[in-house]
Amino acid sequence: MTAALELEGVAHVYPDGYCALRGVDLTIARDEHVALLGPNGAGKSTLVLHCNGILEPTSGTVTVEGRPVDKRNLAEIRRRVGIVFQDPDDQLFMATARDDVAFGPANAGIKGSELDDRVHAALAAVGMAEHSDRAPHHLSFGQRRRVALATVLVSEPEILVLDEPSSNLDPYSRRELAQIVEGLEVTVLMVTHDLPYAYELCERAVILDDGVIVADGAIETVLDDRALLTRHRLELPRGFAVGPASAARR
């Protein structure tokens, strides 16, 4: 399978000396849906920020579709890899939802009817076209998260990174977002503590702890290993049963 995202020997040491990643090797194939799991402080956010060059590795390499993530390729990498952060307000700062979604492509030089069409398509893809003229702060949290997703989808990324996508969402909004993600033809890396949500949307799970990958396999196998989950401070809800492979359900 073609590698969409590949990390080889990636280590990251912050200026204060804290080592967040310790030689991570991870390959994600094109069109895979992968859950990145782990306790708080495991290094998940640090890993994510290497995927489109927000952070540079202290050592090791990151490639996207075979392109090194470096200054020479940064603009193209950031088009190909879209990150939706946990707090949508980190991505929404314009007067209307339409303006927020248009911001990226407009700054890339897209204008006129092409820009209008792409903005409308991105908002429609997340069910927010009818709210395009509303101010983001007048939208519900779930609606803001969908607009934040649209700000990424408008650039037509090939890899979508979702940081805790289900957090602070009511059950209906969780289901809406899951249906949207399930319908996208992109590679997905989902960082989450919500193990049932990961099981619903991903066929593979990677556990990161203390900057090291400690498990990598089919999600039903990883989640069925209760001892493994306990060792790494992960927990399924009481009564949750791991059934047939999620890949078959997708």
pLDDT digits (tens, 9 = 90+) for 85-137: 999 999 999 999 999 999 999 998 999 999 999 999 999 999 999 999 999 99
- How much of the chain, in percent, has pLDDT values that exceed 70? 96
Distance CA 119, CA 99 (A): 9
Distance CA 177, CA 239 (A): 24
Q: Is 108 within a domain?
A: yes
pTM, two decimals, is 0.92
Q: Is 241 within a domain?
A: no
pLDDT band at 245 (very low <50, low <70, confident <90, very high): very low
The CA-atom distances, in angstroms, between 177 and each of 27, 101, 108, 188, 195 are 26, 17, 27, 13, 16
- Tell me the residue range of the domain where 141 lies: 3-235
Distance CA 165, CA 173 (A): 10
Yes or no: say if 122 and 150 are a contact pair by the CB < 8 Å rule: yes
pLDDT at 241: 87
Does residue 54 sit in helix, strand or coil? Answer: coil
* First-residue to last-residue Cα distance in the chain: 19
Q: Is 240 within a domain?
A: no
The pLDDT of 215-241, averaged and rounded, is: 95
Query: How many structural domains does the chain have?
Result: 1
The mean pLDDT of the chain is 94
Q: Which residue has the tokens 């492979």?
A: 245
Q: Is 171 within a domain?
A: yes
The pLDDT of 143-154, averaged and rounded, is: 96
pLDDT at 1: 58
Q: Is 78 within a domain?
A: yes
The pLDDT of 33-50, averaged and rounded, is: 96
How many residues does this entry show for the chain? Answer: 250
**Domain CATH number, residue 202:** 3.40.50.300
Q: Per-residue pLDDT for 147 more than 70?
A: yes
Q: Is 157 within a domain?
A: yes
The CA-atom distances, in angstroms, between 143 and each of 72, 125, 139, 176, 201 are 35, 13, 6, 10, 20
Q: Per-residue pLDDT for 38 more than 80?
A: yes
